[in-house]
Amino acid sequence: MKEFEDLQNLWNKQADTGAGLSSEEIIKKAEITIKKVRQKHLWAIAVLCTTSAILIAYFFWFSVYRLQLFALGLGMMAGVLLLRSAVEWWSHVRMGKINSNLTLLDYTEKMQSFYTWRKKIHFIFTPIIYVLYFSGFVIALPELEPYVSKGMYWYIIISGTLFCVVFAFYIFREAKKEIKTLEFLKGVK
C-alpha cells in the first residue's frame, strides 16, 4: 500500500508543476526567449564591431602601420573580430528565418538544426578565432615595447591576458547554455 501512496504523491507533484500554462502562454514564453537570444546576437555583434573599430582607429591614429609586426598583430585581432561578428550576424539572420507558426515537431527540428550548427561554431570556429586573436596580441607586443614605459608594457600584458582569460570563461559559459538548450530540444520528440 505504501508504494501506491508514493506513486500517488509523485502523480500529484507532477500535476502541480505544469498547472496553469496554456498553449498560448507556452508559445508566448518561447517567443520571448527567442527574442532574448536574438538580442544577445545583436549585442555580441555590437561589442565585436566596436572593438574592431577601436583597433582599426588605433592602427591609423598612431600610424602603427609603420611597425610591421604590430600592424600584423592588430590586423589579425581586428580581422578575426570582424569575422566573428559576421558569424553572429548570420546566426541572427538564420534564427530569424525560423517560423514560430510551424507545428511543434517541425519547429523543434528547425531549432535543433540551428543549435547543432551553433555547437559547431562554439567548438570548431570559436577556438580558431580565439587562438588567432590571442596570436595577434602576442605578435604585436614585442614591437610595442620600445614605445611605452615598462609599467605600461606590463599593464598591457597583464590586462590583455586577463581579458582573454575572462572572455574565454564567458564564451564557455554561453556555449554551455546553448548546448543545454540543444539537449532539451532533443528530448522534446
User: Looking at residue 2, what is its pLDDT?
Assistant: 53
Specify the residue for cell string 522534446: 188
Q: How far is CA 16 from the centre of its chain?
A: 35
Domain ranges across the chain: 29-188
Q: CA 187, CA 189: separation in Å to the nearest integer?
A: 6
pLDDT tens-digit profile, the chain (189 residues): 555 555 556 556 554 444 455 667 766 777 787 888 888 889 989 998 998 999 888 877 766 667 788 888 889 999 999 999 999 999 989 988 888 777 778 888 888 888 889 889 988 999 999 999 999 999 988 888 888 889 999 998 999 899 888 888 888 888 888 888 778 777 765
Q: What is the C-alpha separation between 67 and 34, in angstroms, rounded?
A: 45
CB 144 within 8 A of CB 156: yes
Question: Residue 161 is inside which H or E element, if any?
Answer: helix 150-188
Alpha helices in the chain (DSSP H): 2-17, 23-61, 68-96, 104-120, 126-144, 150-188
Return contacts of 170-173, CB within 8 angstroms, 24+ apart: 171/122, 171/126, 171/130
Give the integer Cα–Cα distance in Å for 32 and 46: 21
pLDDT in tens, 43-57: 989 998 998 999 888
Q: How distant is the alpha carbon of residue 59 from its chain centre?
A: 26
Rg (alpha carbons) of the chain, rounded to whole number: 23
Q: What pLDDT sits at residue 174?
A: 83
For residue 65, the one-letter residue type is Y
Q: What is the pLDDT of residue 188?
A: 63
pTM for this entry: 0.75
Q: What letter represents residue 45's amino acid?
A: I
